[in-house]
Amino acid sequence: MVKKGIAEFIGTFWLVFGGCGSAIFAAAYPDLGIGFTGVSIAFGLTVVTMAYSIGHISGAHLNPAVTIGLWAGGRVKSSDVFPYIISQVCGGLFAGAMLYVIASGNSAFSLEGGFASNGYGEHSPNGYNMMSAFLIEFVLTFIFLIIIIGSTDKLAPSGFAGLAIGLGLILIHLISIPITNTSVNPARSTSQAIFAGGWAIQQLWLFWVAPILGAVAAGLVYKNVFEKTDK
């Protein structure tokens, strides 16, 4: 479990550092910013790279909702859930701290832009309300867990799960960055909200509740619908 915890810490650090870092430093860089598409690809690449480097150690969950969804689907032991989540949140927070220190090195840096935090209402990139934010986070996390559980099933082609999961995360971001800045990951949301403060912390509850509910629903559906017919 110590090795798994360290792997999850490093993996979640990389997800937040690479994904949120691209949003903070490169998304709107003058003239050559990578935009929504570039940020979406960055998040997907963090997952692909970690899936193939630490997947054999911890499974590369990198996300409390993924761990809970896999538990609901019978893939993770109850005793592993809390240690995984602690490691993921700590890894995300460390990445957030590193991003904050680096960003502070620019005299123009300000937290008024949200520090890549997730939000709804006036803090949604395109003004979507709480209901829209909740629904998109629930639905996309549900689909994300179906992709994860299905691509890692013993009946699935071996060796391709990392690509399927990474590509799935890219598509998820392409869909939902304009709505919530895309969470589907409570650790990623917490890592930025803690430093942004104020409204980001007040709205953080949604980015825990909706992804976890979506993940649990996916785990139960896969376990009770697909596994019973395929095995």
CA atoms of 169 and 47, how far apart (whole Å): 8
Look up the CATH architecture of domain 2-104+116-230. Up-down Bundle (1.20)
Q: What is the pLDDT of residues 131-177, one digit of tens each?
A: 999 999 999 999 999 999 999 998 888 889 999 999 999 999 999 99
pTM, two decimals, is: 0.93
Q: What is the pLDDT of residues 86-144, one digit of tens each?
A: 999 999 999 999 999 999 999 888 898 889 999 999 999 999 999 999 999 999 999 99
CA atoms of 102 and 31, how far apart (whole Å): 21
CA atoms of 132 and 156, how far apart (whole Å): 33
Residue 230 clears pLDDT 60, i.e. is over it: no
CA distances from 34 to 21, 23, 29, 147 (A): 12, 9, 7, 26
* Domains in the chain: boundaries: 2-104+116-230
